[in-house]
Amino acid sequence: MTDAEELRSRVRQLLAEHPPATTDRTDFLKARFDAGLAWVHYPVGLGGLDAPRALQAVVDAELAAAGAPDNDPRRIGIGLGMAAPTLLAYGSEEVKSRFLRPLWVGEEVWCQLFSEPGAGSDLAALGTRAVRDGEDWVIDGQKVWTSSAHIARWAILIARTDPDAPKHRGITYFVCDMTDPGVEVRPLRQITGEAEFNEVFLTGVRIPDAHRLGEVGDGWRVAQTTLMNERVSIGGARIPREGGMIGKLATTWRERPELRTHELHRRLLDLWVDAEVARLTGERLRQQLVAGQPGPEGSAMKLGFARLNQAISGLEVELLGDEGLLYGEWEMRRPELVDFTGRDAGYRYLRSKGNSIEGGTSEVLLNIVAERVLGLPPEPRNDKDVAWKDLAR
């Protein structure tokens, strides 16, 4: 079994053969992937060494100390956090070999085509159709709230392949080529002024059956792998103490003593403690992930993340008083990534409102925690055994 010392030796060899100071960034990342140091718990030949997942921290620390470049994980977060685990679990050997390397290196950006105008919280009610045509599937429908669609090369997509089956059992999961002529991406302008999200129209898009993940009609089960990983990646990201939005609020408090009141101090302390509890809970969740795939606990983390961000941003605006009402830029932009901490307080306040919607609404996540973590009785669902085509819409 690969141990920490062996990994350090492999890192030293990588650095000797590809010095970061003189090696092209992309070439270095490709060499790291080929050396099995991308995600060490993945199989040999797919960026890993079949090593314990916990040892990834050893590799990352050694490379960071040497000044090696990273793969800009924020820009390719959907690929890393959602597409890659699903490709690994359900993709053919050809699919895994084709997609994982450029995904990890950042040569190909991914997006997620799940939600629809009539199927957001009730995702299983989706109506985008996939019809078999020889060795291809022909896709027609509309998706919405798609982050990174305007820069994505590939997408993970779920579509309905059997309208006669109940809604959870007639779905199939695909990899979609975003450069297909039938894919149209339109920006959705948000309350922040920018268009971070998109709506995507699919008209006669052809997807080869080789790009299907899992069995026909089993897409809902495959999608659960994506969704569970998504919630961990949103709510359980590793941050240092006072990292993220609580750090911005604490810095303002220390640098602006004239803004302080006893009541605001009490509320700040409460939120600081909540943020630290969330950070430590995230560390424990990541330790549990070493043993296997993420479970419903990730939903609790994402739920807490949304509530905490909204409370922190609200207190920051209140602390700043009139200054908190200022908004530096309200112009139409299509950013490649979301910057929660690099903008002003007004931006953080407005953007955090979306935290309780993206990655699963807080209401849906409460149901998941209640049923799958706490073991409470499920809510009545009278449509589970009704054919999708017979559901009221």
Would you please indicate which residues are annotated as catalytic (active-site) residues? 230
Q: What is the DSSP string of 222-250?
A: HHHHHHHHHHHHHH-----TT-THHHHHH
Residues 6+ apart with CB under 8 A from 80: 71, 73, 103, 104, 233
Q: Looking only at Cα atoms, what is the longest distance across the chain?
A: 71
CA distance 130 to 127: 9
Burial class of residue 269 in the structure, from the number of CB atoms within 10 Å of its CB (0-12 exposed, 13-18 middle, 19+ buried): exposed
CA distance 219 to 155: 15
CA distances from 246 to 115, 272, 373 (A): 30, 7, 28
From the list 310, 319, 285, 315, the residue with the least C-alpha distance to 300 is 285
Tokens linked to 365: 């996540």
From the list 77, 366, 365, the residue with the least C-alpha distance to 233 is 77
